[in-house]
Amino acid sequence: MKGKVLMVDDDPATLRLFTRALEDAGFEVLASSEAIGTTNRAKSFAPDVVLLDVMMPALAGNKIISVLKKNVPGQPVVILFSNKDEDELKKLAKEAGADDYITKLSGTAAVVARVKDHISRRQKSWSES
């Protein structure tokens, strides 16, 4: 079930930690600390899932979602990823049009499980098409 994950977060330690966990789980990961250029990276990398930090300098993650949804072929699943309170993150994800959300405090195992679930569902729906 190898899938591709684009992870966008401005914190280098977070990028390293979650990138390693996702790679160890068998995913191909492209990590970026820059919000600007996310759409172009997504177009060329063609991820199944985009893990997108909400609190990014220059361009907040929730502002990128509509651009990703309109301009990236294959429409990757967009998961908002933040240290925000879970209720606040849930509300923000709904308002922004994200497919899902998860707090960083949930830990690597929970994030990996959530990504696996979304990729598994995508692959299942493609095989049924």
CATH of the domain at 53: 3.40.50.2300
Determine phi and psi for 7, rounding to 5 degrees.
-115, 125
**Residue 113 or residue 35, greater confidence:** 113
Count up the domains in the chain and report the number.
1
Q: Quote the domain boundaries for residue 49.
A: 4-128
Band the pLDDT of 58: cuts 50, 70, 90.
low
**Is pLDDT of 25 > 90?**
yes
pTM reported for the whole predicted model: 0.90
Q: Please name the helix (run of DSSP H) or strand (run of DSSP E) that holds residue 26, with its range, or none.
A: none
Whether residue 34 has pLDDT greater than 80? yes
Neighbours of 110 (CB within 10 A): 13
